Amino acid sequence: MTHTHSFETLPERFSMPETWQWRMLPREWGEMRYGYALPRGKAAVDKVVVVLPGLSEFCEKYFEIARDCLAQGYGFLVVDWRGQGKSSRYLDNLHKRHSQGFEVDAQDLNAVLEDSPFSPRESAFFMMANSMGGNIGLRYLEAHIGVFKGAAFCAPLIGLHAFSHVPGFMAKTLTYGLEHLWPEAYAPMGGDWDPFSRDFQSDVLFSSDAGRAAVHNYWMKIDKALQVGHITHQWLYDAHRSCVYLQNDLSRERIDMPCLFFMAGHEQFVDNEKIAHFTGQLSQADLVSFPDACHEIWMECDAYRDEYLNKFYSLVKKISLD
């Protein structure tokens, strides 16, 4: 049974923290937006949480997480990837979620961290990455050793669920063919943003918590600049290519830090078998499974969300004591 939920007034826990700051970072392709905050009354912090959102997400969706981290005394930073949020888009049709490669997104992340008011020389950085952001985050960690002290990956995109039972050569041939012929066309069944496409079966796909599941569309309805539709063939090709890189070519020994990997039992977007296999190949990684949770564990009901955050905070505190 499906459900939808809407807000007449956004609950305070989902609203912008009072110390929040926005920044538009000039890039060669346009501007990249990110947001950050310090706990009230603090001019500096010794720990910073850096959030890497998933596909089609935006900074505003993470205000509740930001409030939680600020209450712990941590600094907080979250990015809008190019192609979503209020960062510049790729194509004339602003709804099309296009790509130029996840390795390029990792370069954009590095530019944000260098521009931000936080410095890894003064504060310990901890990554919190969701879905697609997990793929980009792993690419970043391989290329930039020592910037982060630990990381938590929520349903990371290490393999596409749609290709979980498709032989590798067939997935490669399909994605390459579509990208080569129609790179800017929507992938099958895709189109411009429509609130119905997310509201429909949201409790099955994203979160069993009706309030948190509604936050995504709430912001897109009140701010058209946040709206983004489905993926293009180019994005699909780049996503598959980056997943294959993580599975086969990533230098895992370069990710020598404590990591947490979380996966949801009701998963329709990423490949849980690939997550479990990948986690087992890292020297300091722990895998946590929530059999009854949906894809967005950090937006799930309190039982799952609280356990996710408590494990992340425990990781931060443990590393800080070592």
Give me the DSSP letters along 20-80.
-EEEEEEETTEEEEEEEE--TT-S--SEEEEEE--TT--GGGGHHHHHHHHHTT-EEEEE-
pLDDT at 6: 67
Burial of 319 (0-12, 13-18, 19+ CB in 10 A): middle
Q: How far apart are CA 143 and CA 120, in angstroms?
A: 15
Cα 175 to Cα 45, 86, 203, distances in angstroms: 44, 28, 29
3-state secondary structure of 282: coil
Q: How many separate helices (H) and strands (E) can be counted in the chain?
A: 10, 8
Q: How far apart are CA 181 and CA 76, in angstroms?
A: 41
Q: pLDDT in tens for each of the 322 residues of the chain?
A: 344 566 778 899 999 999 999 999 999 999 999 999 999 999 999 999 999 999 999 999 999 999 999 999 999 999 999 999 999 999 999 999 999 999 999 999 999 999 999 999 999 999 999 999 999 999 999 999 999 999 999 999 999 999 999 999 999 999 999 999 999 999 999 999 998 888 877 878 999 999 999 999 999 999 999 999 999 999 999 999 999 999 999 999 999 999 999 999 999 999 999 999 999 999 999 999 999 999 999 999 999 999 999 999 999 999 988 7
pLDDT at 3: 47
Neighbours of 188 (CB within 10 A): 10
Cα 165 to Cα 160, 169, 172, distances in angstroms: 10, 12, 13
Domains, the chain, with CATH or none: 12-321 (3.40.50.1820)
